[in-house]
Amino acid sequence: MITASQLRAARALLGIDQKTLAAMAGVSLPTIQRMEASDGNVRGIIDTLTKVAAALDKAGIELIGDYARSDPGGRGVRLKNPTSLSGRPH
């Protein structure tokens, strides 16, 4: 599962807008807008959620779910490789 907050945070880490994410995932802009306006877990068609998650993964985003290994714990997002965007550590 992915939350609306994770989705917004992932976009922020990548420095992209909703339109860009929609294009990357092959979904419509209103779909991304609805997903980000959700309360808690994003609800939607599994295929659409899979496309968005795959696009984020391809862009270097790691979605951290409940109970996933994360030193501070909790949900979140992080770059899988901090040097993947600009060639320098963040």
Per residue in 22-43, pLDDT (tens digit) is 999 999 999 999 999 988 888 8
The pLDDT of residue 85 is 47
- Specify whether the CB–CB gap between 66 and 75 falls below 8 A: yes
More confident site: 29 or 82: 29
The pTM of this model reads: 0.76
Q: What is the sign of the dihedral through the CA atoms of 35, 77, 72 and 46?
A: positive
- Specify whether the CB–CB gap between 36 and 29 falls below 8 A: no
Largest Cα span, the chain: 37
The pLDDT of residue 90 is 42
- Specify whether the CB–CB gap between 42 and 49 falls below 8 A: yes
The pLDDT of residue 75 is 61
The pLDDT of residue 89 is 45
